């Protein structure tokens, strides 16, 4: 058994791990690459690289420009703070920095501010008009309700909140009595100060919180129309429904129309066609179901005809579309979760249907993409490599363009990643990733971890996480088993939907089938099996702790749901709870979800060491869930530890907290499995 290394000792030695393997320190040294935009001629692109300073406990993102053909690179920015949302306009590049939109020439000169809006702007985008002018779209925060201080101005030291409805907090933030709303302005050579608020007089948000951004609104090529997404609901209605809508605004008259009226689920990411005659967007059909199939809708603005790409092609039960870009008036490039990885397809209209052709190849996640001259630019990653930017030619051949992390990866051994099809308890084939330690020796025995995915409807793809990093786990000497259990996209609509109202049923049997199948291998140490996961994966850990029948010797649950009844009354997005669990626990129809699949009801069977991790600002799965699980374990006499981050939410985002997280995570596993 390895000795547990205390964090302070780890810090004093500079977090030095074994030579030749991934370590937590090296993970934070990696540059995090993001593709921003391609130039109008398709020959160059701008991208960002984020780097983190452990001592300062902060990060910074700089922008770079690359010529696709020559590979020549120039650094555009070196400013304090980060630069985001870069895009080409007026012969240079506009980007968001310090709460304002800026512009810089492609030679890195001529830096200037395009906006100087009081209070700052978010997600700003500049559009060049045919007459040479610039229009700027952005979102800005507006006060829409009285603050506590305004309620009692004569009691300035009082600390309180008064809640009269739901959604008083969301994910990791309390209601700030303000709304983000879309605004438009024109740049005339001096930084913009005045603007028109397109949602003025309302309290609705655009983008829709908590994760909406600049993809939620766009300007037509002729500058006459704006389309934006909003959710015209408040309080309890907002908490229970996912029905967002898209509004088309005529900027000359100010009139707006709901172009997604009657479409009951999320309607997102509006984009005008190149000639401005059509609008396309992603749409879910079911109100309240956040993981429904995303169809691509195409609206002809003249005829008002709407086409549903997946439904009209007979592929609604097979695919869901994560992202898209117009290639031509009747052609798209789309991103689709597909059999354990994110892949890119070309979609072309064929009469009343659409033809799908897969472009990308290999077991990689092909994430954000941009259409370039002669092919695509793609942000690509896999379980052994953080994101780099690749150029995919029309024939599907890929060439790596950025090499930000080559030096670090050249110094470490890579993991073998195996793709297995494992039979489930009901005879289905389940894609399961098995990740092996570097220099794996089949003659040896290795402790093995079952990884439980969160979401719950979130594919176990070729992702490269900076927390749940399989390469790092394998580098510490563990085999990792990562099943695509029931309830994940990429394997058809039926497989994705089989988790709702069955959280603790077949998905748990899928997990056990995966670990049992791999455990038959002679190189798996069956006396040292662990189980780890976060969110729904953390719920899975708690659930399996009560039903695993001695398989596992250690558990780690991060932000897991422990008591479904108390969680139901303390979480915020009720549509998720209502759809996946069936509704309130006091309604008889939902009794099975709460009585059969509630981890707290199996605590009497807990007998395995458990590390519980939770954040104090996690309002999606509030902190009491972790506290209750830890307390239950201790009262049962089970070895347990509670790792608490008071200022983190559902994720651990601070660099120093991230290092503590990994030290505690691997320290716990080393203590109980090695």
Does the active-site annotation cover 87? no
* Annotated catalytic residue, options 535, 540, 554, 557: 535
- Using DSSP, state whether 624 is helix, strand or coil: helix
Is residue 231 within 8 A of residue 205, CB to CB? The reply is yes
Q: For the chain, report the end-to-end CA distance as a whole number of angstroms.
A: 4
Query: What is the distance between the alpha carbons of residues 112 and 119, in angstroms, rounded to a whole number?
Result: 18
Query: What is the distance between the alpha carbons of residues 79 and 277, in angstroms, rounded to a whole number?
Result: 40
* Annotated catalytic residue, options 366, 614, 650, 662: 650
Q: What is the dihedral of CA 298, 299, 302, 304, to 10 degrees?
A: 130
Is residue 377 within 8 A of residue 33, CB to CB? The reply is no
Cα→Cα distances 522→92, 422, 449, 483, 528, Å: 59, 17, 15, 20, 13
- Using DSSP, state whether 275 is helix, strand or coil: coil
* Annotated catalytic residue, options 172, 598, 618, 670: 618
∠ at Cα 480 (479, 486), nearest 5°? 150
Does the active-site annotation cover 97? no
The residues near 223 (Cβ < 8 Å, ≥ 6 apart) are 127, 129, 135, 251
For residue 188, report the phi and psi dihedrals to the nearest 5 degrees: -115, 20
For CA atoms 461, 464, 465, 470, the dihedral sign is positive
User: What DSSP line would sit under 45-95, residue for residue?
Assistant: EEEEEEEEETTTTEEEEEEEEEETTT--EEE----SS--EEEEEETTEEEE
Total length of the chain: 674
Does the active-site annotation cover 650? yes
As annotated, the active-site residues are: 535, 618, 650
């Amino acid at each position: 058994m390895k000795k547990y290394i205390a964090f302070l000792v780890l810090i004093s030695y500079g977090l030095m791990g074994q030579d030749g393997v991934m370590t937590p320190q090296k993970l934070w040294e990696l540059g995090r690459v993001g593709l921003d935009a391609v130039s109008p001629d398709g020959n160059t692109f701008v991208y960002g690289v984020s780097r983190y300073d452990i001592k300062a406990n902060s990060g910074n993102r700089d922008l770079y420009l690359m010529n696709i053909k020559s590979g020549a690179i120039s650094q555009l920015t070196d400013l304090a703070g980060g630069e985001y949302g870069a895009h080409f306009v007026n012969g240079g590049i506009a980007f968001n920095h310090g709460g304002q939109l800026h512009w810089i020439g492609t030679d890195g000169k001529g830096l200037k501010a395009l906006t100087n809006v009081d209070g700052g702007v978010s997600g700003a985008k500049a559009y060049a008009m045919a007459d040479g002018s610039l229009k700027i779209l952005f979102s800005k925060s507006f006060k829409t309700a009285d603050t506590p201080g305004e309620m009692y101005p004569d009691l300035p030291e009082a600390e309180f909140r008064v809640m009269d409805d739901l959604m008083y907090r969301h994910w990791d933030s309390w209601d700030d009595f303000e709304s983000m709303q879309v605004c438009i302005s024109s740049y005339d050579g001096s930084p913009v100060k005045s603007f028109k608020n397109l949602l003025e007089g309302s309290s609705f948000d655009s983008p829709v919180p908590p994760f909406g951004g600049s993809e939620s609104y766009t300007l037509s090529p002729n500058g006459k129309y704006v389309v934006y997404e909003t959710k015209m609901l408040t309080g309890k209605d907002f908490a229970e429904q996912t029905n967002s809508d898209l509004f088309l605004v005529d900027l000359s008259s100010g009139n707006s129309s709901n172009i997604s009226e009657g479409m009951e689920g999320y309607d997102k990411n509006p984009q005008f066609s190149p000639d401005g005659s059509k609008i396309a967007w992603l749409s879910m059909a079911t109100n309240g179901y956040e993981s429904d199939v995303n169809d691509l809708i195409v609206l002809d603005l003249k005829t008002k005809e709407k086409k549903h790409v997946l439904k009209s092609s007979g592929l609604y039960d097979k695919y869901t579309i994560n992202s898209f870009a117009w290639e031509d008036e009747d052609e798209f490039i789309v991103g689709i979760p597909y059999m354990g990885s994110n892949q890119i397809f070309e979609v072309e209209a064929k009469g009343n249907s659409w033809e799908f052709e897969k472009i990308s190849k290999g077991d990689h996640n092909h994430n954000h993409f941009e259409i370039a001259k002669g092919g695509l630019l793609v942000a690509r990653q896999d379980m052994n490599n953080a994101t780099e930017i690749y150029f995919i030619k029309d024939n599907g051949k890929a060439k790596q363009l950025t090499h930000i992390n080559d030096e670090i990866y050249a110094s470490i051994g890579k993991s073998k990643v195996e793709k297995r099809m494992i039979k489930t308890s009901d005879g289905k084939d389940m894609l399961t990733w098995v990740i092996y330690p570097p220099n794996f020796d089949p003659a040896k025995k290795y402790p093995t971890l079952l990884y439980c995915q969160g979401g719950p409807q979130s594919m176990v793809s070729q992702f490269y996480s900076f927390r749940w990093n399989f390469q790092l786990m394998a580098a510490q000497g563990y085999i990792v088993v990562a099943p695509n259990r029931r309830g994940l996209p990429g394997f058809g609509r039926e497989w994705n939907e089989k988790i709702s109202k069955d959280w603790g049923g077949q998905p748990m049997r899928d997990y056990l089938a995966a670990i049992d199948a791999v455990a038959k291998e002679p190189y798996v140490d069956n006396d040292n099996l662990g189980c780890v996961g976060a969110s729904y994966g953390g719920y899975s850990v708690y659930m399996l702790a009560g039903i695993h029948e001695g398989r596992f010797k250690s558990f780690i649950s991060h932000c897991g749901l422990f008591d479904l009844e108390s969680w139901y009354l303390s979480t915020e997005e009720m549509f998720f709870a209502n759809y996946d669990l069936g509704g309130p626990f006091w309604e008889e129809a939902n009794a099975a979800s709460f009585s059969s699949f509630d981890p707290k009801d199996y605590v009497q069977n807990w007998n395995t060491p458990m590390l519980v991790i939770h954040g104090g600002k996690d309002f999606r799965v509030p902190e009491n869930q972790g506290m209750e699980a830890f307390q239950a374990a201790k009262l049962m006499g089970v070895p347990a530890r509670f790792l608490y981050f008071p200022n983190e939410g559902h994720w651990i985002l601070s660099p120093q907290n991230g290092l503590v997280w990994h030290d505690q995570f691997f320290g716990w596993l080393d203590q109980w499995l090695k």
